[in-house]
Structures are given as structure tokens and as C-alpha cells.
């Protein structure tokens, strides 16, 4: 982004926060609430059709802060080859949508495997294959370190330090990291690694949502609106801001109760929390 936007303009609605809506409705919701940016998911984009989606978002004047998601390439053999093909397609979609980044959830241990180091090694092999393809299309990957609760089944990339170590072999304009409060808030090395990510020019995205307890039966759905849980959003936002991040801030909430609520209410709360906890610290 060449111009620096005022903090209030930098709020982005990640589509997952209003999971019950299709893309058309999500875009209308953004317009209704003066939200200027949206984080898209591949499935609802595909449902509408890529070209229609590109046209819809452009006509609405929305920025696309991210496309979720590529990754899931910790496998080997044919599954690995298929994952690479799928990721190339995701890169094409991110390019068409003009997304600021393509989020990569790298995947957990392959079925039956306990070889964590091997799975992590496959992530590097996948990047070796995919980075040139993304670079040619001007797409930036956002490697997403995931909370260790997901190390077995979703993301063997567990810390910012690990993501940045992995990114080091690739150009900063193509391989960045996602700072998602839910995944990194507990990390004793957080301040150092956010500063490092900024110094290395690799903060591709900043996502916010809260850690709430008790965990939901499906731990994936345990996220809450900023302010509903244990995370210190002002403190973490200041770290990200001081590290030089000037992009959009996505609110991405996986939560069955939030998904069942009236989307207008969800977005009203989201906007208020963003104004209270995030915007003043950007």
C-alpha cells in the first residue's frame, strides 16, 4: 500500500467471521457498515465464480486484505503433488483478486505419522516449488504460525520464530508471516519476533480475535471477539505497529455462536471492539 490509511479505515472483515453468508451478502454487509476491506475464503469465491467475485469486490471498492487459504502440504508422494497443484490455483486466485496475501495453513502431521520434523521439512520443500510461481504473479504468501494446540492436525508451523527462519531462504516480498493474535499471544518471544518480522519486511498480515475459555468441543471454534477473552490487544497491536505494519487488520472469528448471530450485530460489535482495542494502538 503506497499511502498510509487512517487507523479506522484499516479494519477488514474476514469472511469467516460471518460464515453463514455468501460472498454477495458479505460484501453488502461491508458496504452497510463502511468497512473498506475484506478477507476472502476460496470456497465462497469458488461458489460465486472467480471472475464474478473479482468484479463484485472491485465494483464495491473493497480492498482484499487476504485470501484464505493455501497450504496443507505436509504430505508426501501423490498427495504432495496434488497439494502443490491446489496451491498454484490458490495463487492464481489471489492474483486475480488482488489480495494483499495468500494465507498458508501448512497442515499437520500426515495420517499415521509422528514425524514432526519430516512434516516441517515438507513445508520447506513446498515453498521451494511454489515461491517462484507466486513471485511471477506478484502474490505474497503469509505463513501462518498456528497455536500449538493445532500442531498435530492443522499446522506444524508453531511460532513466529520458526516461520521467519523458514522464510529466510525466500524473498521478503513473496514470503511473509501472518501475525494472528489467537495463535501467537502466549509466545514468550512475541515482542522480539514481531520486531524481527517487521525489520525483515515480512509482516504480511495482522489478524485479531480472542482466546476464550472454556474451549469449544471443537477447539477450532473457540475464538471470540476481541475483548471477550484473555488477549491484550492494545499491547500486541502496538508491537505490530511499532514493527512498521501499515496494512489492514482482519477480524477472523471461528465461533458457532458468532456464526449463528445476526451478521449486522456481529459486525457492529466487531467494529466497536476494533475502535476500542485496536485502532488507537495502530
- Residues in contact with a second copy by CB under 8 A are 109, 114-117, 120, 147-149, 151-153, 158-159, 161-162, 165, 185-189, 211, 213-215, 217-219, 229-232, 235
CB of 197 to a second copy, least distance (A): 16
> In 3-state terms, what secondary structure has residue 186?
coil
Q: Are 194 and 235 in contact (CB under 8 A)?
A: no
Distance (Å, rounded) from C-alpha 102 to C-alpha 97? 10
CB of 236 to a second copy, least distance (A): 10
How far out from the chain centre does Cα 236 lie?
16
> In 3-state terms, what secondary structure has residue 168?
coil
DSSP, residue by residue, 109-140: PPTT---HHHHHHHHHHHHHHHHHHHHHTTPP
User: What would the grid cell of residue 14 be?
Assistant: 474476514
CB of 171 to a second copy, least distance (A): 22
Is the Cβ of residue 139 or residue 277 nearer to a second copy in the bound state?
A: 277
CB of 70 to a second copy, least distance (A): 21
For 224-239, what is the HEC assignment?
Answer: ECCCCCCCCHHHHHHH
CB of 166 to a second copy, least distance (A): 9
**129 conformational bin, left if phi > 0, alpha if psi -120 to 50, beta if neither:** alpha
Is the Cβ of residue 99 or residue 163 nearer to a second copy in the bound state?
A: 163
Is the Cβ of residue 61 or residue 214 nearer to a second copy in the bound state?
A: 214
CB of 10 to a second copy, least distance (A): 22
CB of 114 to a second copy, least distance (A): 4
Is the Cβ of residue 41 or residue 182 nearer to a second copy in the bound state?
A: 182
Is the Cβ of residue 66 or residue 74 nearer to a second copy in the bound state?
A: 74
Is the Cβ of residue 46 or residue 215 nearer to a second copy in the bound state?
A: 215
Is the Cβ of residue 78 or residue 218 nearer to a second copy in the bound state?
A: 218
Residues 6+ apart with CB under 8 A from 211: 181, 182, 185, 186, 222, 223, 224, 229, 230, 231
Amino acid at each position: 500500500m503506497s499511502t498510509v490509511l487512517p487507523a479506522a479505515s484499516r479494519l477488514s472483515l474476514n469472511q469467516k467471521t460471518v460464515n453463514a453468508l455468501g460472498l454477495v451478502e458479505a460484501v453488502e454487509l461491508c458496504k452497510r457498515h463502511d468497512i473498506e476491506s475484506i478477507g476472502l475464503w476460496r470456497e465462497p469465491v469458488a461458489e460465486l465464480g472467480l471472475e464474478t467475485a473479482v468484479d463484485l469486490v472491485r465494483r464495491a471498492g473493497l480492498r482484499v486484505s487476504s485470501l484464505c487459504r493455501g497450504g496443507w502440504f505436509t504430505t508426501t508422494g501423490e498427495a504432495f503433488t496434488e497439494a502443490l497443484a491446489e496451491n498454484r490455483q490458490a495463487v492464481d486466485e489471489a492474483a486475480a483478486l488482488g489480495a494483499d496475501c495468500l494465507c498458508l495453513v501448512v497442515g499437520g502431521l500426515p495420517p499415521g505419522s509422528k514425524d514432526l520434523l519430516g512434516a516441517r521439512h515438507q513445508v520447506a520443500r513446498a515453498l521451494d516449488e511454489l515461491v517462484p510461481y507466486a513471485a511471477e504473479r506478484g502474490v505474497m504468501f503469509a505463513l501462518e504460525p498456528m497455536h500449538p494446540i493445532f500442531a498435530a492436525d492443522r499446522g506444524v508451523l508453531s511460532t513466529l520464530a520458526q516461520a521467519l527462519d523458514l522464510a529466510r531462504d525466500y524473498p521478503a516480498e513473496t514470503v511473509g508471516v501472518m501475525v494472528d493474535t489467537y495463535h501467537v499471544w502466549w509466545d514468550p518471544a512475541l515482542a522480539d519476533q514481531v520486531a524481527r518480522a517487521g525489520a525483515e519486511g515480512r509482516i504480511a498480515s495482522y489478524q485479531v480475535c480472542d482466546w476464550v475459555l472454556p474451549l469449544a468441543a471443537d477447539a477450532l471454534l473457540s475464538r471470540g471477539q476481541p475483548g471477550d477473552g484473555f488477549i491484550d490487544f492494545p499491547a500486541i497491536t502496538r508491537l505490530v505497529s511499532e514493527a512498521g505494519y501499515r496494512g489492514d487488520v482482519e477480524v477472523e472469528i471461528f465461533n458457532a455462536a458468532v456464526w449463528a448471530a445476526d451478521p449486522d450485530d456481529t459486525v457492529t460489535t466487531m467494529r466497536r471492539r476494533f475502535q476500542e482495542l485496536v485502532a488507537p494502538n495502530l
